[in-house]
Amino acid sequence: MRPSGPSGPSGPSAREQARERVESHRQQVLTKIATGTKAPDGEGLSVVGAYPQSTAFFWSTADGRYCIAIYDPSHHTVQCHESTKPFSRTPKLIRLYETDFGSPGGYVLLVAADRETIRTVTCGGAPVEFREIRVNGKADTQRTVYALKFEGWTAGVLKVRVARGDSVHATDLALATSDDEVPPDSDWHSCGAS
């Protein structure tokens, strides 16, 4: 006779464990490194990426500066802009941070889209994974912050399609490193030039 009831291990699922780890890291960031002038505004911390042992966060301070942090139980850092990044008067993409969070898939570019919405991003013709992590403002002064994720160090120029009102436009977004700056035989990925 077969036993009745659910089979398999009991306890939290891998997804629940990951969510609990992210929330634990969030509390540690708020307690240890996002304090004083680096404390977040009322929007709190937005998750940029969750990795096996660490979590990356983004936030705005009360005075409008942008900050990022990577929290790992053995190592944590925080970096804040020295000044605010004002809204652009015209639709524009603005690179905020570009860094390697030290995990596979941990090379991330944070981009602010002022008065427009990102629809697609490609690197050398291949799609780039991106997601919205925060929206500030409203209507004609809206800024959306996106996290673009790469498999490793990446150089060159991204091709981006953005929506403005009822139309879609193509634009280029240069990464911090140009193709010309990448040493030969390196393991950097290239998006190509503009």
CATH code, domain with 143: 2.60.40.10
pLDDT of the residue at 53: 84
**Has residue 21 been placed in a domain?**
yes
pLDDT of the residue at 8: 47
Both 77 and 95 in one domain: the answer is no
Using DSSP, state whether 164 is helix, strand or coil.
Answer: strand
Residues 6+ apart with CB under 8 A from 109: 95, 97, 98, 147, 148, 150, 175
Both 107 and 155 in one domain: the answer is yes
pTM of the model: 0.85
- 19's enclosing H/E stretch is helix 14-32
Domains contained in the chain, number: 2
CB neighbours of residue 122 within 10 Å: 13
pLDDT of the residue at 94: 93
Both 105 and 58 in one domain: the answer is no
Both 36 and 90 in one domain: the answer is no
Residue 100 belongs to domain spanning: 85-194
Last residue of a domain, one of 84, 116, 133: 84
Q: Note whether 66 and 136 are within 8 A (CB).
A: no
Can you give the pLDDT of all 194 residues of the chain as single tens digits? 545 545 445 567 988 998 999 999 999 999 988 889 999 998 999 999 888 888 999 999 988 899 999 898 888 888 998 888 888 889 999 999 998 876 655 789 999 999 999 999 999 999 999 999 999 877 667 899 999 999 888 999 999 999 988 899 999 999 999 988 988 888 888 998 76
**Has residue 119 been placed in a domain?**
yes
**Has residue 7 been placed in a domain?**
no
Q: List Cα–Cα distances, 17 to 22, 24, 55, 193, in angstroms.
A: 9, 10, 13, 42
